[in-house]
Amino acid sequence: MDNNSRNVLVITPSEEISKRVEAALSSHNEINLENEANTLTTLNGKAMELACKNDVILFTTDPKSETDIDALRALAKGHKDNTVFIALTRGDISLAEARELNKAGANEVLPYQTSEAELNQQIQHWIKEKYNANSQVAPSEGQSGKIIAVSQTRGGVGSTTVAVNLADQLISTKSRFNKKAKNKVALVDLDFQFGTVGSFLDIKEQDNMLQLAVDGRMPDLTFLKQSMVSLPNGLSVLPAPSKFAPINILKKDQVAAILDILKAEYDYVIVDMPRALVDWVGPIFERADKLYLVSDTSVPSIRQARRLIDFFSEGNLALPIELLINHESKPFFLSQHHKEAAKALERDFKHWIPDDPIIARKAVDCGKPISAVSPRSKLSKAFKTLAKDVLTAFPVAQHKSEIN
Ligand SMILES: Nc1ncnc2c1ncn2[C@@H]1O[C@H](COP(=O)(O)OP(=O)(O)OP(=O)(O)O)[C@@H](O)[C@H]1O
Ligand SMILES: [Mg+2]
């Protein structure tokens, strides 16, 4: 295939539609058009392979079919090549249904009746978009920061350890695209009642967040600047209250405002999530660019992971959720148990953090990140790898530290 040729695939059981697309693209010699007389759902595993090979995939779908939506979501989430998905569907679908398709990963939703000329125009438009996006090495300047949420499948599995050490490594690990400036990173402890970020990092107890919740005020930048503690490595931390308070005293719009302000100020905002699924976790899901679900591989944790993934996805269908296995080094070969667990969760076990109680304990007792007490340990390296993954997925074009 030469560099200018483009691959377009039509997935539809309808002969009429595949013929229409063929006619729409007949004058484009650079386009290799293929056809799968199938539905998205029945393609199953093959769909992923097709998504990697094609620039544009047009498919017919019924937005009422949950299996179609699930198949699209899995496909759009799983592939990495900016494949464009164009859904062809009934002309009378509701706005909510169209949005559902968009959220699941469809770049465009068109009615079955779309004319050949319009189909041609849309396909050309999306090919152009795809190649323009790929030609940009990094996102545009002044981009908003990325929000990475960290949650857990059971208490004590290590989500605070992950949030703290990921934030720490994001500061010190240089981005592939900009090696000069440090990343500006905020760590927010939204484990409102039981947050331990403050003690993990030896931060003096303070109750600014509690006061905000009690007063029912909306946070602004000044409030956050006064409430955040700046550590010697440059990490800014918003600790959870040290006193107990009812969890629902904090309100949705306050959480939303905290995140929106921090997103504008920092390159990365790491959120240690509460265990309780209160209504104000909604704004976190809506804004998060990625969620790490920290777990072990025990059966109860995997079951809980399944329930949580479903719950989180309801809050934001497009939210990428990655499983992070704590207390286990990556095995050379996955055991049958691991394979079955990964299958049940419909995702790979991508991240593994080894068990190292001595170093983990030392870091907590010193009130420092693991990199400060044992930079060469496997534990420290595992967090560095995790941070690199975030930096690769979300490169920073111009650091906020350079702008401010
Ligand atoms: N990979 C690891 N190896 C050894 N010990 C670890 C590891 N990860 C975390 N720990 C230890 O496990 C304990 C619980 O960790 P952490 O507080 O991060 O869990 P959590 O999921 O946030 O708990 P909580 O439910 O209380 O919020 C801590 O003492 C921590 O040092
Ligand atoms: Mg915790």
Domain boundary among 135, 160, 185: 135
What are the CA-CA distances from residue 61 to residues 49, 66, 98, 370 (Å)?
19, 10, 11, 49
Whose structure tokens read 């004058």?
27
Average pLDDT, the chain: 87
Asked if residues 171 and 201 have their Cβ atoms less than 8 Å apart, the reply is no
The CA R_g of the chain, rounded to the nearest whole Å, is 23
| Within-domain flag for 141 | no
Q: Take atom 29 of ligand 1 and give the residue whose Cα is closest.
A: 361
Tell me 112's DSSP state. T
Element (DSSP H or E) covering residue 10: strand 6-11
Where in the sequence is the domain holding 305, given as residue range(s)?
146-403
Look up the pTM and report it. 0.69
pLDDT classification of 99: cutoffs 50, 70, 90? confident
Q: Do 130 and 152 fall within a single domain?
A: no
Say what the pLDDT of residue 71 is: 83
The mean pLDDT value for 88-92 works out to 89
Which CATH number belongs to the domain containing residue 241 in this structure? Answer: 3.40.50.300
Say what the pLDDT of residue 74 is: 78
- Indicate whether residue 151 lines ligand 1 (CB < 6 A): no
Per-residue model confidence as pLDDT tens digits over 357-367: 999 999 999 99
Say what the pLDDT of residue 314 is: 81
Instruction: Please tell me which residue, 323 or 69, carries the higher pLDDT value.
Output: 323
Per-residue model confidence as pLDDT tens digits over 133-182: 554 434 334 568 999 999 999 999 999 999 999 999 999 766 555 445 57
pLDDT classification of 1: cutoffs 50, 70, 90? very low
pLDDT classification of 3: cutoffs 50, 70, 90? low
Least confident residue range of 15-29, 125-139, 250-264:
125-139
| Within-domain flag for 1 | no
Q: Take atom 15 of ligand 1 and give the residue whose Cα is closest.
A: 158
Ligand 1: atom nearest CA of 191 is 27
- Indicate whether residue 91 lines ligand 1 (CB < 6 A): no
Q: Do 124 and 224 fall within a single domain?
A: no
Whose structure tokens read 């125009």?
121
Q: Do 277 and 374 fall within a single domain?
A: yes
* Angle (CA) 141 145 150, round 5°: 155
DSSP for 127-164, please give it. Answer: HHHHHHHHH-SSPPTTPPPEEEEEEESSTTSSHHHHHH
Asked if residues 167 and 228 have their Cβ atoms less than 8 Å apart, the reply is no
390 Cα to the center of ligand 1, angstroms = 21
Q: Do 124 and 261 fall within a single domain?
A: no
Asked if residues 182 and 263 have their Cβ atoms less than 8 Å apart, the reply is no
Q: Do 81 and 159 fall within a single domain?
A: no
Say what the pLDDT of residue 159 is: 98
| Within-domain flag for 250 | yes
Q: Take atom 8 of ligand 1 and give the residue whose Cα is closest.
A: 158
- CA gap 20, 288 in Å, rounded: 39
The mean pLDDT value for 291-310 works out to 95
Least confident residue range of 70-84, 100-114, 342-356, 362-376:
70-84
Say what the pLDDT of residue 372 is: 93
Residue 329 has pLDDT above 80, yes or no: yes
Q: Take atom 30 of ligand 1 and give the residue whose Cα is closest.
A: 360
Q: Do 84 and 17 fall within a single domain?
A: yes
Domain boundary among 135, 159, 182: 135
366 Cα to the center of ligand 2, angstroms = 17
Q: Do 263 and 360 fall within a single domain?
A: yes
Say what the pLDDT of residue 316 is: 78
Say what the pLDDT of residue 362 is: 95
Say what the pLDDT of residue 79 is: 61
CB 96: neighbour CB atoms within 10 A?
Answer: 8
- CA gap 19, 290 in Å, rounded: 39
pLDDT classification of 399: cutoffs 50, 70, 90? low
Which CATH number belongs to the domain containing residue 89 in this structure? Answer: 3.40.50.2300
CA 249 to chain centre: 28
Say what the pLDDT of residue 368 is: 94
Smallest Cα–Cα separation from 76: which of 99, 96, 97, 101? 101
DSSP for 25-77, please give it. Answer: TTT-TTEEEEEE-S-HHHHTHHHHHHHHH-SEEEEE--TT-HHHHHHHHHHHH
| Within-domain flag for 140 | no
The mean pLDDT value for 329-334 works out to 91
Least confident residue range of 30-34, 73-77, 298-302:
73-77
Say what the pLDDT of residue 130 is: 73
- Indicate whether residue 45 lines ligand 1 (CB < 6 A): no
Say what the pLDDT of residue 67 is: 85
Q: Do 287 and 228 fall within a single domain?
A: yes
The mean pLDDT value for 209-234 works out to 91
Residue 341 has pLDDT above 50, yes or no: yes
- Indicate whether residue 8 lines ligand 1 (CB < 6 A): no
What are the CA-CA distances from residue 272 to residues 34, 60, 62, 151, 284 (Å)?
46, 40, 38, 7, 10
Least confident residue range of 68-82, 183-197, 268-282:
68-82
Residue 397 has pLDDT above 70, yes or no: no
| Within-domain flag for 296 | yes
Q: Do 213 and 237 fall within a single domain?
A: yes
Asked if residues 285 and 308 have their Cβ atoms less than 8 Å apart, the reply is no
- Indicate whether residue 272 lines ligand 1 (CB < 6 A): no
Residue 400 has pLDDT above 90, yes or no: no
Residue 8 has pLDDT above 80, yes or no: yes
- CA gap 205, 188 in Å, rounded: 14
Asked if residues 183 and 170 have their Cβ atoms less than 8 Å apart, the reply is yes
Tokens standing for 41? 């759902």
Instruction: Please tell me which residue, 251 or 79, carries the higher pLDDT value.
Output: 251
